[in-house]
Amino acid sequence: MQKKYQRKEFLKLLALARMSFVSGPLRFISSGKKKENQFPGGSADVTYYKSGDPEYDSLRKGFNKRINKFPRVIALCKTEAGVAEAVAYASGAGLPIAIKSGGHCMEGFSCNDGGMVINVSLLNKIEWINNETIKVGPGCTISHLYDEILPKGKIIPGGSCGSVGIGGLTLGGGYGLLARKYGLTCDSLQEVSMVDAKGEIRNTANDKELLWACKGGGNGNFGVITSLTFKLHKAPATLQSFRFRTHNINAVRAKQILQNWFETTADLPPSCFSAFVLNKKTIYILLTNAEKHTAHVQNVIDKLSVVADKTTSTKPQPIASALKVFYGDKNPQFFKNASAGLYKSFSDIEPIVDSVIEIVMTSPGMIYQVNTLGGKITQPEFEKASAFPHRAYPYFSELQTYWQTEKQGARLIERFEAVQEIFINNGIKAQYRNYPDVKFKNWETMYYGDNYQRLRSVKFKYDRYNQIRHEQSVATLAL
């Protein structure tokens, strides 16, 4: 009762405080004089930061050093009540809200200019509901999650990058080495708690449509997620990796190997994942297997080995240590990385892939990668229960480019965009929301397909006036 009384009093005070704000920049009006940059004092639940504070720069930055945004306020929230306080404050001040958990959004949607960033990285606790269910804070990273659940023989199919926050990963779908075996990350999601744009706490136990939207409908759209409840799966005992490398290739051979890879992986066991990676004049193919070695798996290995210069493999490794190999670099980098299309087969890109290969092979730092989807991802019950629209596509591609200094980026991004134009202009339309590109013109249908209008209805219910937004957030319905 005491907590409810305190929150009521807070909201009353906030309502009075709103009368002193003007919409837009954060200002008080008093006696005809404008006092700039007046910030709340914070509480045990949330701390506010502004430009000039020692922590401001580190809090505003994400994993991509290419992105440089400057919010008016950063709210570092410690509890769900802190999130509600921050949202209500931003609403009263007329500040747009961006949401940051792990800060890995490839286009920096987890930050903004001149608004409020609600940072939920401290909401990272893991609570065991029972042996088959856990509740996780959105700021919990993949590495922290796996350190907790793998020793108990449990797994959630997540991404491979260890420093990614579970919140953003899940809301956009979430795929990785084990997605073909268990489904997308969002397919294990059972319940979500969220603070809506009015600062009110919501739960999907009372709204199944909101749960549907949170399963692949993207992050930064409907509210601030404060907890996610997942069904756990029995973890594989081991993971084995096979690597196929080919060096000093030309464009003709690169295309031949890519076509062979598509044909070979079309019959991939659900326990396996594979990726084709073209980096300048080198091709690297990864194959992983989370179950026992079979004749089926060996047949895949044999077919991939035929076209490779060198094939290497690990012994089956304990799953916890095997996954750590793929965690990646924790340090921020200069890069551009985006979805380059979902495909049904090699024929989708056969007429245009020569041009793509040519640009990639002559652009140092550029990578073209195609990953396998399919398997359990295609299950009809998963499709019905989630907003993720692209389950019919067994392949997902990404384009990447990396550089060392800020000045090097412009030329590489120009070539990056040239490759993306080749795909878009030749009928590659489906794209993965967790790998966004701000240059996509019809991103609404690219990311969400026929589900976009349904997502707009959810947006209207919880964020009618578009308080929570970024460059490619779901639009609310017209008022």
Mean pLDDT of 99-117: 97
- Shared-domain flag, residues 361 and 344: yes
Residue 449's Cβ-count burial label (10 Å; 0-12, 13-18, 19+) is middle
Residue 278 CA to residue 433 CA, distance in Å, equals 23
Sole residue written with tokens 């909201």: 11
Asked whether residue 465 is domain-assigned, the answer is no
Residue 11: predicted pLDDT = 35
Residue 38: predicted pLDDT = 60
Tell me the torsion sign for CA atoms 286, 289, 293, 297.
Answer: negative
Q: Containing domain of residue 406, as a range? A: 238-447
Residues 6+ apart with CB under 8 A from 413: 336, 401
Mean pLDDT of 440-453: 98
* DSSP conformation class of 406: G
Residues 6+ apart with CB under 8 A from 221: 213, 455, 458, 459, 463, 468, 473, 474
Residue 224: predicted pLDDT = 98
Strands 46-49 and 97-100: unpaired
Q: What is the pLDDT of residues 351-378, one digit of tens each?
A: 999 999 999 999 999 999 999 999 999 9
- Shared-domain flag, residues 245 and 231: no
Asked whether residue 459 is domain-assigned, the answer is no
Q: What is the pLDDT of residues 239-265, one digit of tens each?
A: 999 999 999 999 999 999 999 999 999
Residue 407 CA to residue 397 CA, distance in Å, equals 27
Residue 8: predicted pLDDT = 38
Question: In this structure, are residues 79 and 42 in contact, taking their beta carbons and an 8 Å threshold?
Answer: no
Q: What is the pLDDT of residues 185-201, one digit of tens each?
A: 999 999 999 999 999 99
- Shared-domain flag, residues 406 and 387: yes
Q: What does the radius of gyration of the chain's CA atoms come to, in whole angstroms?
A: 23
Residue 196 CA to residue 31 CA, distance in Å, equals 34
Tell me the torsion sign for CA atoms 187, 188, 191, 194.
Answer: negative
Least confident interval from 42-46, 103-107, 377-381: 42-46
Average pLDDT, the chain: 92
**Residues shown for the chain:** 479
CATH code assigned at 56: 3.30.43.10
Asked whether residue 479 is domain-assigned, the answer is no
Q: What is the pLDDT of residues 287-309, one digit of tens each?
A: 999 999 999 999 999 999 999 99
Q: What is the pLDDT of residues 3-12, one digit of tens each?
A: 333 433 333 3
Q: Which two tokens stand for residue 154?
A: 């449990």
17 has a pLDDT exceeding 70:
no
CATH code assigned at 312: 3.40.462.20
CA 458 to chain centre: 20
Instruction: Count how many domains the chain has.
Output: 3
If we measure between CA atoms, which residue out of 373, 388, 396 comes closest to residue 216? 388
Residue 15: predicted pLDDT = 35
- Shared-domain flag, residues 216 and 247: no
If we measure between CA atoms, which residue out of 368, 256, 350 comes closest to residue 308? 256
Asked whether residue 373 is domain-assigned, the answer is yes
- Shared-domain flag, residues 229 and 254: no
Mean pLDDT of 136-145: 98
- Shared-domain flag, residues 212 and 196: yes
Which residues is 47 bridged to in the sheet? 76
28 has a pLDDT exceeding 50:
no
32 has a pLDDT exceeding 70:
no
Asked whether residue 466 is domain-assigned, the answer is no
How many CB atoms within 10 Å of residue 434? 24
**Domain end point (choices 201, 235, 269):** 235
Q: How would you write 121-189 as a 3-class SS string?
A: CCCCCEEEEECCEEEECCCCEHHHHHHHHHHHCEECCCCCCCCCEHHHHHHCCCCCCCHHHHCCHHHHE
- Shared-domain flag, residues 45 and 69: yes
Higher pLDDT, 225 or 31: 225
29 has a pLDDT exceeding 60:
no
Asked whether residue 400 is domain-assigned, the answer is yes
Asked whether residue 64 is domain-assigned, the answer is yes
Q: Which helix (H) or strand (E) holds 263?
A: helix 251-265
- Shared-domain flag, residues 320 and 275: yes
Residue 42: predicted pLDDT = 79
Residue 374 CA to residue 400 CA, distance in Å, equals 23
Q: What is the pTM of this model?
A: 0.91
- Shared-domain flag, residues 383 and 287: yes
Question: In this structure, are residues 96 and 112 in contact, taking their beta carbons and an 8 Å threshold?
Answer: yes
467 has a pLDDT exceeding 80:
yes
- Shared-domain flag, residues 320 and 420: yes
- Shared-domain flag, residues 304 and 333: yes
Residues 6+ apart with CB under 8 A from 356: 349, 368, 419, 422, 423
If we measure between CA atoms, which residue out of 153, 56, 143, 78 comes closest to residue 104? 143
CA 36 to chain centre: 35
**Domain end point (choices 235, 251, 280):** 235
Asked whether residue 329 is domain-assigned, the answer is yes
**What band does 478 get if pLDDT is binned at 50, 70 and 90?**
confident
CATH code assigned at 186: 3.30.465.10
281 has a pLDDT exceeding 70:
yes
Mean pLDDT of 224-228: 98
If we measure between CA atoms, which residue out of 95, 85, 147 comes closest to residue 120? 85
**Domain end point (choices 235, 255, 287):** 235
End-to-end CA distance of the chain: 37
Strands 97-100 and 116-119: parallel
- Shared-domain flag, residues 254 and 365: yes
